[in-house]
Structure 1
């Protein structure tokens, strides 16, 4: 099985969002899960990977100092760099890519972009998406849609059933060759996109899907944190 070389991957962790749906004035990534900040769980999983050289944590100016304090508590804080992000997620990823291109050695051949709010990332899923990216140049974790899909305009509106065959829910990490994702962002020009893979798709480069764990959930609402805590306990039991 083809894999990525040691220290060839730069990880981008976008963490500059406001998290308004979480219902708190503070960044949701500061919420604690199993006794430590939410974002550090994914960071530690990725720091254990020999393929990863650095993690680029993209933060807002107002959160910079707090994140810097929390970075110091990681197992390998010297492998984490802070970057000031932008108003949109795509702006934050673009800022990280610019820093990587300016600062990294030629050893960095791959970019892995992971939601900092996905704390339950499995090492086996990281291996799978890294291996696929090594073969195709672009790969993402995703899960197949299992429920019935409906399209409607809102409450009390008529709905239409959508065929779910072949429909997947995108997850992260999303892993790309440096030139592939750099070209995608160079062509972005502000047109809305829901994830990094969509930008890559627009360039004509195919993006491969790798089936990931269903519990690689993104913390969006306060109740998601309770679900994550229960899932974590299940893993540990």
Structure 2
């Protein structure tokens, strides 16, 4: 089946404390975004990428695209006011039955193994959401104070959130709701059960300066010179 990856790169870099959005910061000598794009390009030769960027950074994004392994498979579109609207803009460019990955551009340590695992489960079950179990003790704030959570029953959600195109395109016909924090929450509102699949502890989201250091170390370990 045809495959598309919608890579959302709308971050502002506020928590990173930099003027340049985090998706454009260098890690291991290349922009964060470059790593994400190249991994998806290497997953399958027939996979197409739709890169969603803020209007102010279209030229920067195109310059990075031009340095990837196959720029011809990447299209750029403009993001919206929210993640929901950005993904919707990306979905508007998909006109055939396919499996659709939606991925945070700043999860630049994504592996082809995880991409393939999500694809196989979405092909079988309609969707696949990578998730990992937390290792820290968790507590939740309540009106009475706070209380512990059973971490064995809690999962940390990652991307690529992966769906059959008919499911995700129908879901994004809904009106925007503030409860839509990710694609799974949009699909779930249709009454479709969400299927979790095992994520990867290294599939971190680059948000703080420390994350860049971790990403450098992980990439160096995976690609020894």
* TM bin (shorter chain): over 0.9
2:39 matches 1:45:
yes
SS at match of 2:36: helix
For the structure 1 residues 136 and 188, does the alpha-carbon distance in structure 2 shift closer, same or farther, using more than 3 Å as the test?
farther
Q: State the match for 1:149 in structure 2.
A: 138
SS at match of 1:66: helix
In the alignment, is the contact (CA less than 8 A) between 1:140 and 1:197 conserved in 2? yes
Unmatched tracts of structure 2, length 5 or more: none
Q: State the match for 2:182 in structure 1.
A: 195
Q: State the match for 1:210 in structure 2.
A: 197
Distance in 1, matches of 2:61 and 2:77, equals: 11
For the structure 1 residues 198 and 169, does the alpha-carbon distance in structure 2 shift closer, same or farther, using more than 3 Å as the test?
same
Distance in 1, matches of 2:85 and 2:145, equals: 37
What are the within-5 Å matches in structure 2 for residues 110-129 of structure 1?
A: 110-129=99-118
Distance in 2, matches of 1:201 and 1:142, equals: 16
Q: Deviations over 1:89-108 (max 9, x none)?
A: 1110011111224xxxx3x4
Deviation, structure 1 residue 182: 1.0
Q: State the match for 1:220 in structure 2.
A: 207
Unmatched tracts of structure 1, length 5 or more: none
Distance in 2, matches of 1:215 and 1:223, equals: 14
Distance in 2, matches of 1:46 and 1:141, equals: 16
Q: State the match for 1:54 in structure 2.
A: 48
1:181 corresponds to which of 165, 168, 182: 168
TM-score under structure 2 length normalisation: 0.93
Aligned residues: 223
In the alignment, is the contact (CA less than 8 A) between 1:17 and 1:89 conserved in 2? no
SS at match of 1:57: strand
1:130 corresponds to which of 103, 119, 123: 119
C-alpha RMSD over aligned residues? 1.6
1:232 corresponds to which of 191, 208, 219: 219
In the alignment, is the contact (CA less than 8 A) between 2:33 and 2:108 conserved in 1? yes
Deviation, structure 1 residue 69: 1.2
In the alignment, is the contact (CA less than 8 A) between 1:151 and 1:160 conserved in 2? yes
What are the within-5 Å matches in structure 2 for residues 83-94 of structure 1?
A: 83-94=77-88
For the structure 1 residues 51 and 193, does the alpha-carbon distance in structure 2 shift closer, same or farther, using more than 3 Å as the test?
farther
